[in-house]
A = this chain, B = another copy of it.
Amino acid sequence: GKASDSGVVYGHRGMTLEEDLNVSNRYYIETDQAVIYKKPTPIQIVHVDYPKRSAAKITEAYFRKASTTDYNGIYRGRYIDFEAKETTHAHYIPLKNFHAHQVEHMKRIKRHGGIGFIIVKFTQTAEIFLLDSDYLANYWVASMKGGRKSMPKQLFMDHGHLIPQNYLPRIDYLRVVNKVYF
């Protein structure tokens, strides 16, 4: 990675946020810090072939919309739940990156005592922020009432937390979780 003006190392520009989070989660599991996984992509299976002497082959299937967020697990005894998204826009992330089901899901998680947040990567600068899911819920409701259809980067700078990026773990979001939720 190369050093930015601020001295932060922004590496792995070729990796997607999801890949980097998967590697980070694996590191957290291997070092026994947390047990957090990305859920598999939900698929509607229509047809499966069962050839003799080889593995079952799915020959017709379709992507389904997730009813929950992509990531969940346990950390320091607490239930953790989050959604991760990239935005190519320099100054905002469109709300259409999220689904109504996901916003509702995160509200439920909070109500039941869990920790819920979003992780958003602004790809132009490679900055990654953690923002509590209450902010997403509030912007979502406001947009339904005619408000803006995106969350400005300024919101992340004012109320979110820049996540440190390293070699291992690549995206050290639990360091931020320690500060914000414990």
A89 close to B (CB within 8 Å): no
Min Cβ gap A83→B in Å is 14
A32, B73: Cα distance in complex, Å: 20
Interface residues of A toward B: which range?
A: 35 or more
Known interface pairs A59-B59, A62-B58. Does A76 touch B113 (Cβ–Cβ under 8 Å)? yes
Is there contact, CB below 8 Å, between A112 and B40? Answer: no
Is there contact, CB below 8 Å, between A74 and B67? Answer: no
A63 close to B (CB within 8 Å): yes
A148, B114: Cα distance in complex, Å: 39
Is there contact, CB below 8 Å, between A112 and B55? Answer: no
Q: How many copies does the complex hold?
A: 2
Min Cβ gap A175→B in Å is 17
Is there contact, CB below 8 Å, between A29 and B108? Answer: yes
Is there contact, CB below 8 Å, between B37 and A40? Answer: no
Q: Which residues of A (103-127) have their CB < 8 Å from a CB of B?
A: 105, 108-109, 111-114
Min Cβ gap A62→B in Å is 6
A74, B105: Cα distance in complex, Å: 11
A29: chain B residues at CB < 8 Å are 108
Is there contact, CB below 8 Å, between A68 and B37? Answer: yes
A42: chain B residues at CB < 8 Å are 40
Min Cβ gap A148→B in Å is 29
* Further 4 A-B residue pairs, CB within 8 A, beyond A35-B112, A35-B114, A58-B58: A32-B111, A41-B45, A55-B62, A55-B63
Give me the interface of A with B, judged by CB distance under 8 Å.
29, 32, 34-35, 37, 39-43, 45, 55-63, 67-68, 72-79, 81, 105, 108-109, 111-114
